[in-house]
Amino acid sequence: MNKSRRKVFVAMSGGVDSSVAAALLQKQGYDVYGIFMKEWQAPGIKCTTHEDRQMAARVAAHLEIPFAVWDFSKEYKKAVVDYMIAEYKNGRTPNPDVMCNREIKFGLFLKKALASGADYIATGHYIRNFKIRNSKLKFGYKIFAAKDSNKDQSYFLWTLTQDQLKHCLFPIGEYTKPKVREIARKLKLPSWNKKDSQGVCFVGKLDFSEFLRAHIPKREGVIITTEGKEIGKHDGVQFRTIGQRYGIKGMKLYVAAKDIHTNIVTVAEENSSALYGKKLVITDINWISGEIPKTPLECLARIRYRQPLEKAILYKLSTTNYKLVFDKPQRAIAPGQSAVFYTKQGELLGGGIIGTL
């Protein structure tokens, strides 16, 4: 089949990355369609959705490709926002970007695109996807970190499966961000100098802590040091994250632990050993290959976005739980966040959700 007959639905956010993704696929001969996904917007909060949609439409018009808006606001509210709020209520620190990718972009969007006649979907993620032939002489797909290590987004895509990857294209994974902007400028794309989006879109310009407090009841509790000394009050452990800076009476302190049951927040000084740990439990694990590797598994891992990869060993505890042990202590291990595994060559093996030891 010629590429010109292969239909690709590109998730166009209005940003330069997805704009260039669409342009590159068009140059490669694909039949490109631009889709803007409407997310949920918190009532009364200014968001850039309208401006982003207009920019995506302008880029599509410039490329002379069909353009449509798909409203996923209700599904987004349930799968991402409600999930995030529920996790904070339970004292965990969720990652909404991971859930958005799993449930919306590579869930609902992919499903609707295929039902609408698409052969592939494409996004502006900085990640590389390769089609390979495995030992059983069957085709499969591997994910590698992007060429631009400063923009690599593989950390957020550990939930992807082989069934999804065979329909996914990531056109900008081989480029650096400056090169992507250069391509956009040369092609005179309207979004070429648009600033990168920051934070969670549906929260807009509102302080994130204010957003949480509008959805989660306050509950006053005490703040103690690692020695057990009470030094202040807080309005709820749900609003605090492990490793978060916590200024109290001019002291430079950080959240070392929190207990959802006793409603106690424990703080420590910046270099305190209480902020570090080597071991963590992982649940809801997903392997990109679809096959469970033998354990113990030596790998490289990270527990937050853009954190340098560190040597670790993964142990299987049960069919659903694993233990990850790092060579060196890691700062601020936060339950609810993602732990992601790689090979030395940069291949993304999979990941899971950090649990409580």
| CATH classification of the domain holding 292 | 2.40.30.10
Torsions phi, psi for 127 (to 5 deg): -165, 155
For residue 267, being part of any structural domain is answered with: yes
- Within this chain, do residues 78 and 151 fall inside the same structural domain, yes or no? yes
Classify burial at 260, counting beta carbons within 10 Å of its beta carbon; exposed 0-12, middle 13-18, buried 19 or more: middle
Cα separation, 245 vs 249, in Å, equals 13
CA distances (Å), 216 to each of 7, 41, 308, in order?
44, 18, 33
Residue 201 annotated in active site: yes
| CATH classification of the domain holding 29 | 3.40.50.620
> Crossing angle, helix 16-27 and helix 49-63, to 10 degrees?
20
Q: Which pair of tokens denotes residue 285?
A: 């694990």
For residue 263, being part of any structural domain is answered with: yes
Q: Which of 47, 168, 201, 299 is catalytic?
A: 201
Q: Which of 47, 100, 168, 299 is catalytic?
A: 100
Q: What is the pLDDT of residue 210?
A: 83
Q: What is the pLDDT of residue 54?
A: 95
pLDDT at 200 over 70: no
For residue 230, being part of any structural domain is answered with: yes
- Within this chain, do residues 127 and 260 fall inside the same structural domain, yes or no? no
Reported as a pLDDT band with limits 50, 70 and 90, residue 263 is very high
| CATH classification of the domain holding 238 | 2.30.30.280
- Domain of 65? 3-203
- Within this chain, do residues 185 and 258 fall inside the same structural domain, yes or no? no
Cα separation, 103 vs 30, in Å, equals 26
Put simply, whether the predicted model's pTM sits higher than 0.85 gets the answer yes
Reported as a pLDDT band with limits 50, 70 and 90, residue 15 is very high
For residue 210, being part of any structural domain is answered with: no
